[in-house]
Amino acid sequence: KAGVTQTPRYLIKTRGQQVTLSCSPISGHRSVSWYQQTPGQGLQFLFEYFSETQRNKGNFPGRFSGRQFSNSRSEMNVSTLELGDSALYLCASRGDVSGNTIYFGEGSWLTVV
């Protein structure tokens, strides 16, 4: 069974640009969540989607947004990039809203210059 797949793995963007990251959850999993990891803040929750609906959102500005498609694949978008957005962005999936084991992808490394 394939794991959580994230693309792209590495990318470099310029301040002010926008970026879209993609995530394909484990086959059959309908819940997808996104996390940001930075050296200073650790792993922080961005948002979770289940059946194309955002169920919860972390404490991030509106520049961070996401969506989920009918096939459970998800994208997150960051607009007007800032240097501080440089981070590892992790996607995670689980089978359903009551499933407690959450599996992570390899992450997308974003560098903003």
- What gap in Å lies between CA 71 and CA 106, rounded to an integer? 20
- Residues of span 29-58 touching other proteins by CB under 8 A: 33, 35, 42-45, 48, 55-56, 58
- From residue 51 to residue 90, what is the string marking binding to other proteins with x (rule CB under 8 A)? ----xx-x-----------------------------x-x
Tokens of 71: 């096939």
Cis peptide bond prior to 8, omega within 30° of 0? yes
CB 72 within 8 A of CB 29: yes
Spatial CB neighbours of 9, under 8 Å, sequence gap ≥ 6: 106, 107, 108, 109
Tokens of 11: 């990318």
Q: Does 95 bind other proteins (CB under 8 A)?
A: no
Smallest distance from other proteins to CB 16, Å: 26
Does 113 help bind other proteins (rule: CB under 8 A)? no
* Binding residues for other proteins (CB under 8 A): 4, 6, 33, 35, 42-45, 48, 55-56, 58, 88, 90, 92, 97-98, 100-107, 109
